[in-house]
Amino acid sequence: MEPYQINVAQAVLDDLQTRLANTRWPDETTDAGWQSGTDPAYLRQLVTYWQTRFDWRKQEQVLNQFAHYRTNLDGYGLHVIHERGKGGKPMPLLLSHGWPDSFYRFVKLIPLLTDPVSHGGKAEDTFDVILPSLPGYGFSEKIQKTGAYNQWTANVLHTLMTRTLGYERYAAHGGDVGSGVTEALGMLHPESLIGIHMTDVPYWRLFATNPDTLSEPERNYLRDGQQWQMQEGAYAMLQATKPQTLAYGLTDSPVGLASWIIEKFYAWSDCNGNLENSFTKDDLLSNILIYWTTGTIQSSFIPYWDEEEPQANEIELPRIDVPTGLSIFPKDIVPAPRQFAERFYNLQYWSEPPKGGHFAALEEPERLADELRAFFRPLR
């Protein structure tokens, strides 16, 4: 574990400003709003702020307050934050983010977990937080296809937790891609897992479940998932089938990259039609800058390109016996019913918070901290 500081080369930031100034804007549909994609008026507003007011160096200072490291795991270079808990006996908690976010998803959550007393919690609920940039994301090394991203990544992170950091047993939480990685940890390394907590049932299970065995609420969930895929899932199909084609434009154009990312933050959050009800401009741009400055948008597509979705009746779905908790936020993409989750997990905690969406750790950090404390408390 080598100490690491985020310090983007000034030449990269200067080039970014030049590209922003030279943006070629497309024609706009009159009063399009968000109906046909990213709202042109909001994107122009965001880019103006990006050019004139956003301070990446200030964001670097904020992020560098955490304990960053780089480590080599069997030849792979991983970036990780390892923030120690204060007081009591901290429980080691591995956090796994998703797409199109980054480790930035959890930055507001870290102090709530490591120092609960200062944030309205109890000393006995303290955690050691281990937060990697998932392989292929952010300041971790870029990757090529692995054959099975979730399983490969789970093994990398298990090595980090047990061999590098020396935790015999640990807890894990994730959402989006991170829920698939967290679930894989429960499958592959159950003896080391205190418990797993997720904010969604991994999406692939929708398409690997025989609909003939489902209850009416589960069939409705399956129908909603299929409808969502037809209306909103084109991005995933493109990232899974033609990632190279997509990567050229998003790697070359910062405005194109921003548009691709913030449209998902708008559509998947509990923002009630105003993106900044859930995120500040600094939140949005800091996440985008992590992709831009590291050039990892193409590598971030690997989880989509790498995984072959199992089909119903082709496999016997594994049940995970590790104690499992799920907090299903109301404005997530397609919230699963409890009965569906009970098919796959040793479900010991189920919660449906009243507010929040897909990026709960960034939208509702205090609420998610309470959820994590409540689930893991009896497992300590």
Active-site residues, by number, are 176, 304, 358
Are residues 131 and 83 in contact, defined by beta-carbon separation less than 8 angstroms? yes
Are residues 283 and 269 in contact, defined by beta-carbon separation less than 8 angstroms? no
DSSP assignment string, 235-260:
HHHHHHH-HHHHHHHHHH-HHHHHHH
Q: d(Cα 364, Cα 361) in Å, to the nearest integer?
A: 6
Q: d(Cα 211, Cα 222) in Å, to the nearest integer?
A: 8
Residue 335 carries which side chain, given as an amino acid letter? Answer: P
Q: What is the gyration radius of the CA atoms in the chain, in angstroms? A: 20
Q: Which residues pair with 122 in a beta bridge?
A: none
Best CA proximity match to 338, nearest among 329, 330, 328, 172: 328
Q: d(Cα 155, Cα 75) in Å, to the nearest integer?
A: 13
Are residues 100 and 62 in contact, defined by beta-carbon separation less than 8 angstroms? no
- Going by their DSSP bridges, the two strands 76-83 and 127-132 should be labelled as antiparallel
Q: Give me 347's structure tokens.
A: 């479900």
